[in-house]
C-alpha cells in the first residue's frame, strides 16, 4: 500500500490531484488520520509499535507530498515563463496624443509675457448687452462704427454676441479701480467668413490705467511686446493714425514684413476720457492706454498659416501639423 500511494503521489499531474491525495491520506478523515485515531483501541504494547509505524508513514507521505508540490509549482512557473513572454523588441503602437491648438498657444504665450510685467487676466462673457459692447465704449447707436462690426444680434433681446473684447474694459474698470494693468483674452463674433475672417475669432484686450501714463508708454509696451513675440529684436513697426471711439488719439499698428509690406496686427490708443468717466474714473487723475489684438492674425503671421478657416475646421491632421505638445 505504501508503494502504491507513493507511486500515486509521484505521478500526480497537477496540484489539484496532489491535494486530493493529501486529503485522502492526511485529511480529517484520511487513511493515516483514521489509523492514528484507531490506536486508542489497541493494547499498550501493540499501540507502541503500530503508533511508531503509522507516524513514520505519516512523515513519509507528508514529505513526499511537499516535495512533489514544490516540483509541480516550479513546473507551472516554468510553463508560465515560456508562455507569457513579452517581446520587448516590438516597436510601441503609435499613441493617440492630443495637441494644443495654435490659438491656445498664442494666448498662453502672450498672457505669460504680460503677466511678467504686472498684468492681471480677466475672463468675460460671450454675450453682452449693447450697453457694454457699444454705448459705454462711446459707440452711440447710429455711429458708423457700430455698423462696421457685422454684429450678431440676439432676437427679442437687447443682447449681442460680443464683437470685440473691449466690453471687458468697462466690466473690469467698473469693479477694479486704478492703478491697474490687465488683459482679457477670449472669443469674439462677427458675421463674416473668408480666408481672413471667421464668424468666431479671438481677441486679446490690454489695458493700463495709472497716474501719468502717456502715449510713449503705449508705444514702448507694444514695440517691446511685438519684438518679443515675433522673436526679432529689429522688427519694424509702424503706428498709423486711426480712429476708435473709445481711444483718443488712436492708432493701428503694422509690422514690417521684410519684403516692404506692412501688416496690421492691432488697434490701440489712449483711453478716451468719456470711457473712463463711464467707469467712474477721474480722467484728470488717471490716464491710460488700451490695445486690442486679433489672436488668429498673430498666430497666422508667426506660424505661417495662410487661411484662417483651417483653425476651425476641426481636422486633426491639421492640428497634428500645427499644434503644440505643450503650451507652458
Residues near ligand DAH, by CB under 6 A: 164, 166, 205, 244, 247, 267-269, 290-292
Between 64 and 250, whose beta carbon lies closer to ligand DAH?
250
Q: What is the DSSP string of 260-288?
A: S-EEEEEEEEEEPHHHHHHTT--TTT-EE
Q: How far is the CB of 115 from ligand DAH (least distance, A)?
A: 18
Cell 516597436 found at? 91
Residue placing its CB nearer to ligand DAH in the complex, 54 or 290? 290
Residues pairing with 290 in the sheet: 207, 269
Q: Is the Cα torsion angle 109, 112, 113, 119 positive or negative in sign?
A: positive
> Minimal distance in Å, beta carbon 268 to ligand DAH?
5
What minimum distance in Å lies between the beta carbon of 125 and ligand DAH? 16
Minimum separation from the CB atom of position 242 to ligand DAH (A): 8
With respect to ligand DAH, which residue has the nearer C-beta, 185 or 292?
292
Q: Indicate the residue among 109 and 205 with the shorter CB distance to ligand DAH.
A: 205
Q: How far is the C-alpha of 44 from the C-alpha of 33, rounded, in Å?
A: 19
Residue 248's SS3 state is strand
Q: Shortest approach of ligand DAH to residue 130 CB, angstroms?
A: 15
Whose Cβ is closer to ligand DAH: residue 166's or residue 172's? Answer: 166
Nearest to 289 by CA among 223, 206, 226: 206
Q: What contacts 129, CB < 8 A, 6 or more positions away?
A: 158, 159, 160
Please give the residue whose beta carbon sits closest to ligand DAH in the complex: 292
Amino acid at each position: 500500500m505504501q508503494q502504491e500511494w507513493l507511486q500515486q503521489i509521484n505521478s500526480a499531474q497537477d496540484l489539484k490531484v496532489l491535494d486530493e491525495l493529501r486529503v485522502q491520506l492526511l485529511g480529517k478523515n484520511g487513511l493515516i488520520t483514521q489509523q492514528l485515531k484507531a490506536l486508542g483501541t489497541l493494547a499498550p504494547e501493540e499501540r507502541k509499535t503500530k503508533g511508531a509505524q503509522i507516524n513514520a508513514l505519516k512523515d513519509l507521505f507528508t514529505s513526499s507530498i511537499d516535495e512533489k508540490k514544490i516540483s509541480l509549482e516550479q513546473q507551472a512557473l516554468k510553463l508560465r515563463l515560456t508562455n507569457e513572454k513579452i517581446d520587448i523588441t516590438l516597436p510601441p503602437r503609435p499613441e493617440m496624443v492630443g495637441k494644443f491648438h495654435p490659438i491656445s498657444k498664442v494666448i498662453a504665450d502672450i498672457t505669460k509675457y504680460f503677466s511678467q510685467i504686472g498684468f492681471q487676466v480677466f475672463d468675460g462673457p460671450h454675450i453682452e448687452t449693447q450697453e457694454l459692447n457699444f454705448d459705454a465704449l462711446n459707440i452711440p447707436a447710429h455711429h458708423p462704427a457700430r455698423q462696421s462690426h457685422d454684429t450678431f444680434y440676439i432676437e427679442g433681446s437687447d443682447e449681442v454676441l460680443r464683437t470685440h473684447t473691449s466690453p471687458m474694459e468697462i466690466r473690469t474698470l467698473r469693479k477694479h479701480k486704478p492703478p491697474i494693468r490687465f488683459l482679457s483674452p477670449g472669443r469674439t463674433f462677427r458675421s463674416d467668413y473668408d480666408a481672413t475672417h471667421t464668424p468666431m475669432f479671438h481677441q486679446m484686450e490690454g489695458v493700463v490705467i495709472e497716474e501719468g501714463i502717456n502715449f510713449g508708454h503705449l508705444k514702448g509696451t507694444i514695440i517691446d511686446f511685438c519684438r518679443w513675440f515675433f522673436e526679432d529684436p529689429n522688427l519694424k513697426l509702424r503706428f498709423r493714425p486711426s480712429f476708435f471711439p473709445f481711444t483718443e488719439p488712436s492708432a493701428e499698428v503694422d509690422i514690417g514684413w521684410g519684403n516692404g509690406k506692412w501688416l496690421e496686427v492691432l488697434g490701440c490708443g489712449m483711453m478716451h476720457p468719456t470711457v473712463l468717466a463711464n467707469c467712474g474714473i477721474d480722467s484728470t487723475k488717471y490716464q491710460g492706454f488700451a490695445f486690442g489684438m486679433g489672436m488668429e492674425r498673430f498666430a497666422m503671421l508667426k506660424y505661417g498659416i495662410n487661411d484662417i478657416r483651417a483653425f476651425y475646421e476641426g481636422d486633426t491632421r491639421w492640428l497634428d501639423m500645427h499644434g503644440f505638445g505643450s503650451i507652458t
